[in-house]
Amino acid sequence: MSVTQPVRSPRRRAPRNSLNPDRILDAAIRLLDRQGTEAFTMRALAQQLGVGTMAVYSHFRGKDEISDAVAHRLLDTIELPPAGSGDPRAELREVCRGVYRLFSEHPSALQLLTMRPVRGDDAISVVDRMLALLREAGLSRTEAAGAHVALMQYTVGSALWCTRRARAMCEEGARDRVRAKIDALPRDRYPALVSLAPELLRVQDNGGAQYEIGLDAMLEGLLGGI
Amino acid sequence: MSVTQPVRSPRRRAPRNSLNPDRILDAAIRLLDRQGTEAFTMRALAQQLGVGTMAVYSHFRGKDEISDAVAHRLLDTIELPPAGSGDPRAELREVCRGVYRLFSEHPSALQLLTMRPVRGDDAISVVDRMLALLREAGLSRTEAAGAHVALMQYTVGSALWCTRRARAMCEEGARDRVRAKIDALPRDRYPALVSLAPELLRVQDNGGAQYEIGLDAMLEGLLGGI
DNA sequence: ACCTGAACACCGTTCAAGT
DNA sequence: ACCTGAACACCGTTCAAGT
């Protein structure tokens, strides 16, 4: 048996000059989506690329720069609905749904955003579109700005809430533990909570439908009187 | 000069048996509030307590258990408004404000909650109170559950948004960089954004007032028709 | 220019030992 | 029971060196 060749490296070296920022970002997003932010490590990233850890530093200044680039790239993939339907409210709802969908599909991207301070321009085309629609719906300049921020805040909060719950629920026997905790609650101290526990659990099991509830309410409150 | 006594330790040792879970949690919250989650380290925590790093492990299983205890403790400090005013909507608003206030005062607690999966019972007395008020306001069981979750999602999202912005804004020259980026935006591609930039910045500078905008809208949408 | 491996200063935690 | 210091397996990143 020849000794010149290693027995079998776990992942053969990538050929020289095959590494580039795009491949790195692809791998980073895959890693984040499949294993979460905890597994998002410079060493793990490099290993998935079949490259030494420090090779990545030839294309990015460091982990923070990669995180920013990942966030930027994902925010740019938000799909906007076709314009000019004549129904700004329906279009607005579609834009919000698009943002929510992205965060649901890439929960770790959301977590990344909550950890790092704002750096890149956050999905400017989405912001522009929403502001235009809010103005079109009849809001004043100040009202439109406030409504846009409120809608984004709700969307982020909703996606984050569901992500957190999903992570907790996929743990071993999490469902039973929640059930046990609720059953142990003193009925006389928390009557409403004990009574509505089934509805509370059910409502949170379908993140998308729950998001619509708040979105409808928020839109109604923001645009309703107009 | 005597050699038996060390020259001057940076922080003298705490006397034996003076350490307990409460002192540890106090120190942890102080550390989180003053220096953020990045500085929240077992070594830093122990140092602030004037104790060896491993002493903390005599009272908590590890960092995760401390994080859970911190979150639990803070959530329990949410102030609830007096009951029985006969105006469930106003009371509801006060409860939400209380939750928002807590997260604004302890931004790192919120960050902690977003990082770790749910474990402790999340402020059950707040949940019970809100559900009772929503029922009192005339919502069905299912509606009340959905409304409660929507309100919490918005509140969390709003506080998180402001925290992120505050952290970004206290960086050196952050304000100027934002301004420069906006000025560099092509007016013809993002007309609404460029035009409303001043309102957008102003609205986000007052987190509390901005929170009220979305809260009003959400409550109106959830309860308005009743 | 691109990539490597060793090394450095961190981190949470285990462990054997001290009181 | 409470606390300690050394040690282990990680982490991001610097650095000198290789191609």
What are the pLDDT digits (tens) for B146-193?
999 999 999 999 999 999 898 888 877 888 888 888 889 999 999 999
- Name the residue in chain A with its Cα closest to that of B180: A121
Q: Is B5 helix (H, G, I), strand (E, B) or coil?
A: coil
A204 has a pLDDT exceeding 90: yes
pLDDT in the model for residue B14: 83
The answer to whether strand C lies under 7 Å from the CB of residue B55 is: no
The answer to whether strand C lies under 7 Å from the CB of residue B154 is: no
pLDDT in the model for residue B119: 65
Residue B179 CA: distances (Å) to CA of A116, A128, A217, A222, B198 = 20, 16, 33, 28, 9
Smallest Cβ distance to A181: which of B121, B144, B157?
B121
The type of residue at A31 is L
Other beta carbons within 10 Å of A109: 23
The answer to whether strand C lies under 7 Å from the CB of residue B40 is: yes
What are the pLDDT digits (tens) for B87-112?
999 999 999 999 999 999 999 989 98
pLDDT in the model for residue A12: 64
Q: Is A82 helix (H, G, I), strand (E, B) or coil?
A: coil
Tell whether pTM > 0.85. yes
Q: Which of these ranges, B43-47, B121-125, B182-186, has the smallest mean pLDDT? A: B121-125
> A180 — contact with chain B (CB < 8 Å)?
no
DSSP class per residue in A193-216: HHHHHHHHHHHHH-HHHHHHHHHH
DSSP class per residue in A18-70: ---HHHHHHHHHHHHHHHHHHH--HHHHHHHTTS-GGGGGGTSSSHHHHHHHH
With contact defined as beta carbons under 8 Å apart, do A32 and A70 qualify?
yes
Distance CA B117, CA A107 (A): 13
Compute the C-alpha angle B183/B185/B186, nearest 5°: 120
Smallest Cβ distance to B146: which of A124, A167, A203?
A203
Mutation target among B99, B116, B131 for the A interface, most CBs of A within 10 A: B131
pLDDT in the model for residue A9: 42
Chain A partners within 8 Å of B119 (Cβ) = 168
A104 has a pLDDT exceeding 90: yes
